[in-house]
Structure 1
């Protein structure tokens, strides 16, 4: 072991003893304490190209407003509504959220309610109140005869609307003219029907695109309609263009998250629909249509030039806004005089922290930051990498850190905590949650408790025994590791019962409260082991989204990809974007002739193409389900020749080049079958049914609806043997032994010290002789 250069004056014996000591620590920790050349090196930043910016820019493009319109937003679009919105008990309320698109000015908004209620309700003491952003816009008496449906139209003042809005429906229900004795009486009910709606009369406004607002107007997170994005096909779809397009689509998938996004390819500007967004990506040689647009930089001899007439350097990217379709559609131009510049411009767009310094309708990207690769197990929204963490280290559905919460009343809602294990996490016995909580006075200690549930199943609970309330109590919860999954949720419920009940009074109910404190802690014992191939894990994106920047994933397309091939690529990139969260996108796309040996050997691969043009043909004929020539299908020892064969194929296998990686095949007998894979990736009701190692999908009707189970057929197959993989760096062997036998560390250290002392004394005697 080399000695540190700062210790030259030590004696020979001291140096030998130090070497023994450091070697012992290295065995225990697995890490050297001292190393040579530890000082960081500083790389010289490359010189930036000097570009003379235009002094007289053309006027900023303006997206012309559409005509005045009406939009109907039915309640059944909300997942909480379903077949009806039900209210139970004396008092109940339901909340619905809706947005206002950024370019809409509301002229009038109406709430159209259709409802029915129990005939047992007493009309003068029962009503349904509607509130918008905390302001009441009307109350309806619940006085309909039995079996009849009530209709009501309520006007919403336009000045109440914001970008994000909350509609609250509150029902007060009584079945007695004086006092309702039983708040759990089943006759206390009202239902708002799912065909109730919000009706917008709106005036669209003109929009001036500006990169300080990106991704708007390419994507509007407040839109009530699906965002529609089209990509203009280049002269030739090569690997750099495919990579840049896939990265931008991944970013749009992350931006969309749960919102709908419709994407397609167009061959020319004439195919663009009104109000559809267009992306033109590529150099002027790849995209001749750039010459037809009014842009801040002039095109001369097929190259963009600056104000001095010099060509923009090929390593500089250009971002510009323009309009098309009679100025009704925004056009995002991502270009440059070289592929390096185009790639740099795309990389700038997909890194949100870089977008903050942009403004105007034209940007020259001279340099885009190269972010370091992410750790494979750092997944936002999932359990932290550390085994010991606090409640504040977890995030909610909006990806904001959780904080302490106070709930009130005997029927208070549960605090729900996303407790999503990483796909390769295996929680072991001994994992614990230490719930820190407080509660108020005046509770009934015989019937009040706090309980913790995992995915709706109670784990443990504790009585609330203090009539005067308690502060900072701790409940230790043993977490059943075998039931924690990538979709798990913890619920903490306060079941509060008042000490004294008073008829017809809510005071004794609403004064009850319970608080879950932010210092609630978790201590996990877990290991990282997974079994592949398994398409059930692909529902979380795993292993392609580990790490979340997709730096270990590569996609392979045929040499001459068709529209269907590229469409599947776009849907795959969007799906991976929805399933990941990072500050960069490092997804790579290759064609067979461009695939580097290192990418094939070290990355998870996704191969796209029909059977006749599949870029990795050996994967379709290996073990498990196989597509062979002459229209033959094989499954085990069974062979058939279906006519026609219009099913899509999703198949996962262990990579033949690296047993730690996976290859995913997206294929079909022809383009018709491959198009079915597009639907499988696009629609959540289909995608979240995949499992096994092979899925076959086909539409059963001409215009299938993914929400109708009979419209699609999904067949799940499993035959490929699974391989168990340990997905974390192994600890040194001595640490693995001692971490679970820590009581033996002290005696073992004493014995090791005596052994080393004896060896040192023996060495000294031999050297003295």
Structure 2
């Protein structure tokens, strides 16, 4: 059931120092560039990737191996526009002091190929040990796996695989070193989104967006659609859109929006377009940087080009594609985001997987099986709300002694545990999970609604009780058999009957899922207002925001309304929209005494912040005070404000304000 959301005339303010944000923008997942080598006009960069930046490491950033968990692996990706010419694995590891030297060793595999067997010597026992392993670039692919196999022995007879003396720790100080060369790829749109967006490695993308002059509303709408589509492509990796006016970036790829009458200096001689066109070309004077040119006869036609690219209903091939016929797709329905589950019907676990084998695990101690469940953010749980889950799972038979069990964990909270039966290999459980809402009237609810979030992790942890016995005078050594566990893809969870309702404003929902704009995945009931289109930081903030919302929804904002000028007709446009404001808030949206008072105080606080670019805003006689506070806030302040739309009580305004470009960043 779809209920209108209630917007209250309340404002939430978030001030944040940009210095911390600027530092956090440098992801630990990005390898640090340490050297640049140039031979015969070929540039090779040497990158160092800490183990903590690779996938599947422990929370410490390293790997812990044991007798029961003797094999562990990590993963890393290589961009399609990069060529690895060499490298090495700088491995730091510490073996248990109780191991038998030489008989104990560590095997290292790259993509299933054994490349090194490291014997554990007497001097290594209990000490941090270093080994450098060369990498054959021929063994690498786009997606790569490094596997470590621990062969540990502590006794000549009667070894117990669960003995606590069997361990080897691979340190987080270990580093993967890669010599990489940037490839000059062909100008072929069939390879899109490569090289403009990174969709293989776990690093964020940066793609400058170029306008020839301050963009009009149509050009900015086309750029907004493209930016949100980039968010869909990069997903959790993140994307940043610096905006440039009439200039090329100093390095890297870029996208430019042009019309026949409005183009930057470096494309003055570009042929005039007769239809919306997308072209990939080289940036002059660079070896491998590419320029994506989105052109059209008029700015209105630029929107068609952006939509065709985002929706994929035109075949893009070769260096240039003209869009001779574009067909509008049907508008999205409420809450049908591709990244959200459909709460109006049962959802099968097979629909929640993102890679093959996600619902299975094997080993003496099988790894937990995890699936992600993204819910519409305004599901409203009350006492008496219930979620049905039909769970079908298979497992190898446990021993009759001990307590083997399956634990069902929701967002790190234990919900249920089920025994694994020694006489069975399959079980089916139908759970009716009562939800505890804001007030628990009867004390019988089992799942607190606060455990449930827009993005949820469902964990199924099969825990086998392995019992090993030995006698003093005689013993029998038995090799443990790895277990195999599976969650049947036909298992399902059912949220039907849960209401959509929340009180507004709620900036946490905006941050988590772009709400309320994201109720419609194509943002058809959203209007973005940005009046100062000369300010590149404001333009970048708009594009980055829509890129993030696109990543959260899995769909481009093809039907968003962009307003760059507020006039007499704006009220009619904005009345039935949720509104995203970048920069100054128009007077039209201050048409409420409470809103005007709070906003004026907010704007005053921002305008009088101690920004280092404006050291003389205050009384010069108060130099000490000015200096002290200016140092604390030298990078500017930003605020995100949300309030009820003065044009419609059922609509919400979210505004991003700042005292400086740094604050917007």
Q: Of the candidates 328, 336, 361, which is equivalent to residue 319 of structure 2? A: 361
Q: Of the candidates 249, 270, 287, which is equivalent to residue 272 of structure 1? A: 249
What does residue 497 of structure 1 align with? 465
Q: CA RMSD in A?
A: 3.3
What does residue 531 of structure 1 align with? 503
Please give the alpha-carbon distance, in whole angstroms, between the structure 1 residues aligned to 2:605 and 2:459.
55
Please give the alpha-carbon distance, in whole angstroms, between the structure 2 residues aligned to 1:533 and 1:630.
21
Change in Cα spacing, 1:152 to 1:345, as seen in structure 2 (3 Å) is: same
**SS of the residue 2:374 aligns to:** coil
**SS of the residue 2:575 aligns to:** helix
- Deviation readout 1:696-737 (Å, 9 max, x if unpaired): xxxxxxxxxxxxxxxxxxxxxxxxxxxxxxxxxxxxxxxxxx
- Deviation readout 1:238-263 (Å, 9 max, x if unpaired): 21121111211111122112325343
**Conserved? CA contact 1:378–1:385, under 8 Å:** no
Matches within 5 A, 1:97-108: 97-108=75-86
Change in Cα spacing, 1:68 to 1:449, as seen in structure 2 (3 Å) is: closer
**Conserved? CA contact 1:344–1:367, under 8 Å:** no
Please give the alpha-carbon distance, in whole angstroms, between the structure 2 residues aligned to 1:403 and 1:112.
30
Matches within 5 A, 1:275-354: 276-289=252-265, 291-292=267-268, 298=271, 303-304=272-273, 312=274, 316-328=275-287, 329-351=289-311, 353-354=312-313
**Conserved? CA contact 2:378–2:500, under 8 Å:** yes
Q: Of the candidates 196, 212, 218, which is equivalent to residue 240 of structure 1? A: 218
What does residue 149 of structure 1 align with? 128
Please give the alpha-carbon distance, in whole angstroms, between the structure 1 residues aligned to 2:406 and 2:514.
36
- 2:326 maps to 1:391: no
Matches within 5 A, 1:127-146: 127-143=105-121, 144-145=123-124
What does residue 429 of structure 1 align with? 385
**Conserved? CA contact 1:426–1:481, under 8 Å:** no
Q: Of the candidates 450, 453, 471, which is equivalent to residue 409 of structure 2? A: 453
Give the deviation of 1:663 after TM superposition: 0.5
**SS of the residue 1:252 aligns to:** helix
**Conserved? CA contact 2:228–2:549, under 8 Å:** yes
Please give the alpha-carbon distance, in whole angstroms, between the structure 2 residues aligned to 1:259 and 1:522.
28
Change in Cα spacing, 1:564 to 1:546, as seen in structure 2 (3 Å) is: same
Q: Of the candidates 418, 427, 431, which is equivalent to residue 372 of structure 2? A: 418
Q: Of the candidates 309, 328, 341, which is equivalent to residue 370 of structure 1? A: 328
- 2:490 maps to 1:516: no
Q: Of the candidates 392, 407, 411, which is equivalent to residue 361 of structure 2? A: 407
What does residue 548 of structure 2 align with? 575
- Deviation readout 1:335-381 (Å, 9 max, x if unpaired): 12212222211111111x325x2211111112322111212212334
What does residue 650 of structure 1 align with? 640
Once the two structures are overlaid, the 10-residue window that deviates more, 215-224 or 192-201, is 215-224
Please give the alpha-carbon distance, in whole angstroms, between the structure 1 residues aligned to 2:226 and 2:100.
58
Give the deviation of 1:281 after TM superposition: 0.2
Please give the alpha-carbon distance, in whole angstroms, between the structure 2 residues aligned to 1:588 and 1:498.
61
What does residue 660 of structure 2 align with? 671
**Conserved? CA contact 2:240–2:544, under 8 Å:** no
What does residue 471 of structure 1 align with? 426
Matches within 5 A, 1:664-703: 664-668=654-658, 670-672=659-661, 675-678=662-665
Structure 1: stretches of 5+ with no match in the other structure: 1-63, 305-311, 635-639, 679-769
What does residue 261 of structure 1 align with? 239
Once the two structures are overlaid, the 10-residue window that deviates more, 594-603 or 520-529, is 594-603
Matches within 5 A, 1:3-42: none
**Conserved? CA contact 2:339–2:552, under 8 Å:** no
Please give the alpha-carbon distance, in whole angstroms, between the structure 1 residues aligned to 2:605 and 2:428.
71
**Conserved? CA contact 2:529–2:563, under 8 Å:** yes
Give the deviation of 1:125 after TM superposition: 4.0
**Conserved? CA contact 1:107–1:202, under 8 Å:** yes
Once the two structures are overlaid, the 10-residue window that deviates more, 339-348 or 197-206, is 197-206
- Deviation readout 1:420-459 (Å, 9 max, x if unpaired): 3321113453322121123333522642222322222222
What does residue 63 of structure 2 align with? 86
What does residue 211 of structure 1 align with? 189
**SS of the residue 1:215 aligns to:** coil
- Counting matched residue pairs gives 578
**Conserved? CA contact 2:76–2:145, under 8 Å:** yes
**Conserved? CA contact 1:123–1:141, under 8 Å:** yes
Matches within 5 A, 1:734-749: none
What does residue 659 of structure 1 align with? 649
Superposition TM-score, scaled by structure 2 size: 0.78
**Conserved? CA contact 1:404–1:517, under 8 Å:** no
**Conserved? CA contact 1:91–1:172, under 8 Å:** no
Give the deviation of 1:194 after TM superposition: 2.4
Please give the alpha-carbon distance, in whole angstroms, between the structure 1 residues aligned to 2:349 and 2:582.
42
**Conserved? CA contact 2:225–2:556, under 8 Å:** no
- 2:208 maps to 1:230: yes
- Deviation readout 1:60-83 (Å, 9 max, x if unpaired): xxxx99523323222222363554
**SS of the residue 1:488 aligns to:** strand
**SS of the residue 2:459 aligns to:** strand
Change in Cα spacing, 1:626 to 1:94, as seen in structure 2 (3 Å) is: farther
**Conserved? CA contact 2:396–2:425, under 8 Å:** yes
- Deviation readout 1:541-563 (Å, 9 max, x if unpaired): 21122222222222101255412
Give the deviation of 1:650 after TM superposition: 0.6
What does residue 17 of structure 2 align with? none
**Conserved? CA contact 1:610–1:671, under 8 Å:** no
Please give the alpha-carbon distance, in whole angstroms, between the structure 2 residues aligned to 1:106 and 1:173.
34
Change in Cα spacing, 1:348 to 1:431, as seen in structure 2 (3 Å) is: same
What does residue 535 of structure 2 align with? 562
> Which one has a bigger Cα radius of gyration?
1
Give the deviation of 1:661 after TM superposition: 2.0
Give the deviation of 1:290 after TM superposition: 5.3
- Deviation readout 1:376-413 (Å, 9 max, x if unpaired): 212334332224333223x13x3x6x888443344111
Give the deviation of 1:210 after TM superposition: 1.0
Give the deviation of 1:283 after TM superposition: 1.0
**SS of the residue 1:257 aligns to:** helix
Please give the alpha-carbon distance, in whole angstroms, between the structure 1 residues aligned to 2:92 and 2:477.
30
What does residue 488 of structure 1 align with? 456
- Deviation readout 1:731-753 (Å, 9 max, x if unpaired): xxxxxxxxxxxxxxxxxxxxxxx
What does residue 582 of structure 2 align with? 608
Please give the alpha-carbon distance, in whole angstroms, between the structure 1 residues aligned to 2:606 and 2:426.
72
Please give the alpha-carbon distance, in whole angstroms, between the structure 2 residues aligned to 1:624 and 1:630.
10
Please give the alpha-carbon distance, in whole angstroms, between the structure 2 residues aligned to 1:625 and 1:122.
74
Please give the alpha-carbon distance, in whole angstroms, between the structure 1 residues aligned to 2:240 and 2:478.
49
Give the deviation of 1:333 after TM superposition: 1.0
Superposition TM-score, scaled by structure 1 size: 0.68
- Deviation readout 1:560-607 (Å, 9 max, x if unpaired): 541221121122122212212126632332123367434311221111
**SS of the residue 1:572 aligns to:** helix
Please give the alpha-carbon distance, in whole angstroms, between the structure 2 residues aligned to 1:426 and 1:380.
21
**SS of the residue 2:566 aligns to:** helix
